Structure 1
Amino acid sequence: MEEMVAMFLHILAHDVKNRIVQREFVQSSETNCLGALDGTYIKVNFSATGHPRYRTRKGEIATNVFDVCDTNGNFVFVLSGWEGFTADSRVSRDVISRPNGLKVPKGYYYLCDVGYPNAEGFLAPYKGERYHLSEWRGGGNAPTAPREFFNMKHSSAWNVIERTLGLLKGRWAILRGQSYYPVQIQCRTIMACCLLHNFINREMTNSELIEDLDEVDSSFATTRGNEINYIESSNEWTQWRNKLAQ
C-alpha cells in the first residue's frame, strides 16, 4: 500500500505518465484496485424483543448489510444479518475473520470510506479532508493539496459501490420497505436480489441498462461484468459471536 501512495505522489510531483511510473516502480499496467465496499441498511421484520438490537441511529429496524462490488458494479461478497446499530468497522472485522469470509489477494485492495480501517486489503481516504464528490463541484472547489486530490480520485472510484447499491434497491422494491417476512428469510432475499442483479448486468445490453438507470437516479450507474464469486448469509452470526466470547 505504501508503494501505491509513493507512485501517486511521484505523479503529482513530476507530472509524468503512467508508463513512466510503471517502469520506475517496476509495476505492470494492471490496477491493484479490485473494487469497493460499503455497508447499507435494509429494513427487516423482527419481533418486539429484537428491535433494540436492530434499531439504527435513525430509528429504523434494519440489518446492516456488508457489500463488496468489483469495478464493474457486480457484487462479489455480501453479508447480511448484523444488527442495524452495529458499526461498520465491527462488521468488517467479522467479515475478514470468518473462514469463508472476504479474502483479498496480497498486493490488492478494495476502496472503503473512513468508517472502515485503513489496513491491508482496504484503502480508505485521508481523514479530515474533503471527500464527497459534491464538495468538488463548482468553480473554485478544485483540490488545493495532494491529500485533497487523492480523496477526490478515491471518492470518484469508490462511488461505484454507492451506484451499485442504489441500482440494487431501485430494481427490487422488497429492499426499500420493511419486509413482511422473518429476518432469516429476508437475509436470503437480499442475497437473491444481489445474484439477480449480477445476472441482469451480464445479460442486459447497454441500451437496456441506460433505460433501467433512468428509472432509479441519474447518479447511480453500473456496467456489465462477471457473475458473483461468493455470497453467504449470516443467519448463524449469534453462534459465531458466542464462540468468540467463550
Structure 2
Amino acid sequence: MASDDVNNFLTRLSRKRARDDEENRDKMSIILGTITSVIAIVVAWYNETYLVKEPSRDWDQERRCYLNRLYNGREFDCIEQLRVSKNAFKSLCTILHGKGGLTPTRNVSIEESVAIFLNILAHNLKFKVIGFDYYRSKETISRQFNSVLHAMMRISEEYLKLHPCAIGALDGTHIPVTVSAKDRPRYQNRKEDISTNVLGVCDPDLKFIYVLSGWEGSASDARVLRDALARDNPFQVPNDKYYLVDAGYANGQGFWAPYRGTRIINACFVLHNFIRLEQHNDLVLQDQDFGFLASVDHEISNHSTLEGNANWITSVQVTDQWTTFRDMLALQMFHDYQARGTTIS
C-alpha cells in the first residue's frame, strides 16, 4: 500500500507540474504578444510624428525640369552653372553633333550630355556629385563625359589654329590625371598632386593658338617650353616678337617676364576659344580688369624688340639686353599711366 501511495503522489505531482508549465507558457505568450504590440504602436507613432515620409517621385520628370531650368531658363543661371550663354550652349550642341559626331542615347539627350560635361568643367565636380544633381549613376555620368570629350577633340583643330607669329601670352597649367602606381612619382607636382603640366599660348584676343600636353606634373614650366621650341613641329616665336610670360620663366629674347608678383590670364583651351567666338558679351570676363590688358596690347602693338628677320627663336636665354628692354618698357608704361592720370584729373 505504501508503494501505491508514493506512486500516486508522484503521478499527481507530475501532472500538476505539467499544468503549471502550460499555464506559464500561456502567460509568457500573452506577455510577449502584448510587448510586441506596444512596440509596434510606439514605432508607428514615432514614424508618424518625427519622420518625414519620402513621397513617390518621378525621377525623369524632375530631371527634365532641372535641365529645362538649366539651359532654357534664366540667362544668368545658364552662365553661372555651365559657363556659357543659352545661345552659345545650343550652338555648341549643334556643332558637337554635326562636326564632332556626338549622338544621343536612348535615355540621354545631346543637351543633357553637354550640360553634364560643362557642369563638371565649370565647377570641378566629381562624377558622383554631378550624378546626384542629374539623377544619374556615376557610370552614366562617366560615359557621357567621355562621349562629349571625344567630340570636343574632333572639333579642336577648328578652334586651336596655329598662328606662330601672333603676339600674346603663355603659361603652364597643371591638370589632374589618373596614372598607374608606378608612374605616380613622375606625375607628382610640387603640391604633391598627380597632374600633367600643359603649356597654353594665347593670342591678344585670349584665344589659344598653341597647346602642348603630356608632360609629367614634376616637369617645370620652363622645361615644357624648351621642349615646345625644340620639337619637329615646334612652337615658333619670331625674333622681332615676344610673348608675355609669368615670373616662373626666364626673361629673355622672345619671352617678356614681369617683375615678381605679376600674373597673366589663363583660360580653358577649346571651350574658352568657342566662348570667345560665340559669346561676344562674356559676363564672366567682364568682371576682370581689361584696362590693364588693353594697355599691354597697346604697348605690344607699338614696340619691336629687335630688328626683324625671318629667324625663329629656338631657346630661352636670359640677356642683359632683354632685361634693360623690360625695364625701359615698364618705365615708359608707368609714365604713360601717370600722364593719363594727370589728364583725367
What TM-score, normalized by structure 2, do the two folds share? Answer: 0.34
Larger % of strand: which?
A: 1
| Greater share of residues in helix | 2
Larger RCO of the pair (alpha carbons < 8 Å, separation 6+): 1
TM-score (norm 1): 0.47
Structure number, greater radius of gyration = 2
